[in-house]
Amino acid sequence: MTKAKEKIVLSYSGGLDTSVILKWLQDTYRCEVVTFTADLGQDEALGPIREKAERLGVRDIRIVDVREEFVRDFVFPMFRANTLYEGQYLLGSSIARPLIARHLVEIAKEVGAVAISHGATGKGNDQLRFELAANALDPSIKVIAPWRTWDIQSRKQLIDYAERHQIAIAKDKRGEAPFSIDANLLHTSTEGNILEDPSVIAPSYIYQRTVDPFDAPDEPETVVIGFAEGDAVSVNGIVLTPAELLTELNRLGGKHGIGRVDLVENRFVGMKSRGVYETPGGTILLAAHRGIESITLDRAAAHLKDELMPRYAALIYGGFWFSPERQMLQALIDRSQTHVSGEVTLRLYKGSANVVARSSSASLYAMDLVTFEEGSGAYDHHDAEGFIRLNGLRLKSWATRNSKAGPGHGRSGPI
Ligand code: ARG
* Residue 55's CATH number: 3.40.50.620
In a domain, 396, yes or no: yes
Please check whether residue 386 lies inside any domain of the structure.
Answer: yes
In a domain, 152, yes or no: yes
**Residue 213 maps to which CATH number?**
3.90.1260.10
Q: What is the pTM for the complete model shown? A: 0.96
Is 160 labeled as catalytic in the residue annotation?
no
* Run of H or E residues at 31: none
- Tens-place pLDDT, residues 297-324: 999 999 999 999 999 999 999 999 999 9
Q: Do 215 and 153 fall within a single domain?
A: no
pLDDT, position 172: 65
Q: Which of 11, 13, 17, 62 is the catalytic position?
A: 17
Active site residue 117: no
Burial bucket for residue 333 (CB in 10 Å: 0-12, 13-18, 19+): buried
Find the domain containing 388 and state its range.
376-405
Q: Does residue 220 sit in the same domain as residue 123?
A: no
Pick the atom of ligand 1 nearest to 91's CA.
Answer: 12
- 17 CB near ligand 1 (under 6 Å): no
Looking at residue 17, its pLDDT comes to 94
Of all atoms in ligand 1, which is nearest to the CA of residue 273?
Answer: 1
Tell me if residue 319 falls in helix, strand or coil: coil
CA of residue 245 to ligand 1 center, whole Å:
24
Query: Is 333 part of a structural domain of the chain?
Result: no
The verdict on 359 and 382 lying in the same domain is: no
Other Cβ atoms less than 10 A from the Cβ of 19: the count is 26
**Residue minimizing CA distance to atom 2 of ligand 1:** 93
Residue among 126, 231, 274, 360 flagged as catalytic: 126
Does a structural domain hold residue 380? yes
Domain assignment of residue 316, yes or no: no
From 137, 156, 177, the end of a domain falls on 177
pLDDT tens, position by position, 188-214: 999 999 999 999 999 999 999 999 999
For residue 304, which amino acid is it?
A: L
Amino acid, res. 151: D
**The pLDDT value given to residue 227:** 99
Q: Are residues 346 and 381 in the same domain?
A: no
Q: Is residue 101 domain-resident?
A: yes
Residues 152 and 133 in one domain: yes
pLDDT value, residue 195: 97
Ligand 1 atom having least distance to the Cα of 190 = 11
Beta strands in 163-247 (DSSP E): 180-183, 188-191, 221-228, 231-235, 238-239
Which residue's alpha carbon is at the smallest distance from atom 5 of ligand 1? 93
> Ligand 1, from 95, 126, 278: best to mutate by most atoms within 8 Å of Cβ?
126
Task: Indicate which residue's Cα is closest to atom 4 of ligand 1.
Answer: 125
Judge if 225 and 145 occupy the same domain.
no
String of b and e for 95-116 (b: at least 16 CB within 10 Å)? bbbbbbbbbbbebbeeeebebb
Beta strands across the sheet bearing 272-278: 180-183, 188-191, 272-278, 260-266
* Confidence at residue 376, expressed as pLDDT on a 0 to 100 scale: 77
When divided into structural domains, the chain yields a total of 3
50 and 128 both lie in a single domain: yes
Q: Quick check: CB of 275 below 6 Å from ligand 1?
A: yes
Same domain, 232 and 159: no
For residue 185, the 8-state DSSP code is: S
Please name every residue paired with 265 in a beta bridge, in sequence order, or none if there are none.
273
| Ligand 1 centroid distance, CA of 405 (Å) | 54
Residues 257 and 156 in one domain: no
For 158, other C-beta atoms within 10 Å of its C-beta total 21
275 shares a domain with 203: yes
Integer Cα distance of 322 and 135 in angstroms: 9
Asked if residues 184 and 92 have their Cβ atoms less than 8 Å apart, the reply is yes
126 is catalytic: yes
Q: What is the pLDDT of residue 405?
A: 80
334 is catalytic: no
Q: Which of 177, 207, 226 is the last residue of a domain?
A: 177
> Final residue of a domain: which of 177, 212, 242?
177
Whether 245 maps to a domain, the answer reads yes
The full DSSP string for 87-132 is: TTB--TTTTTHHHHHHHHHHHHHHHT-SEEE----TTSSHHHHHHH
Residue ranges of the chain with per-residue pLDDT less than 50: none
Q: Are residues 124 and 203 in the same domain?
A: no
Which residue type occupies 116? I
With b for 16 or more beta-carbon neighbours within 10 A and e for fewer, the 248-268 pattern comes to bbbebbbebbbbbbeeebeeb
Is residue 158 located within the same domain as residue 214? Answer: no
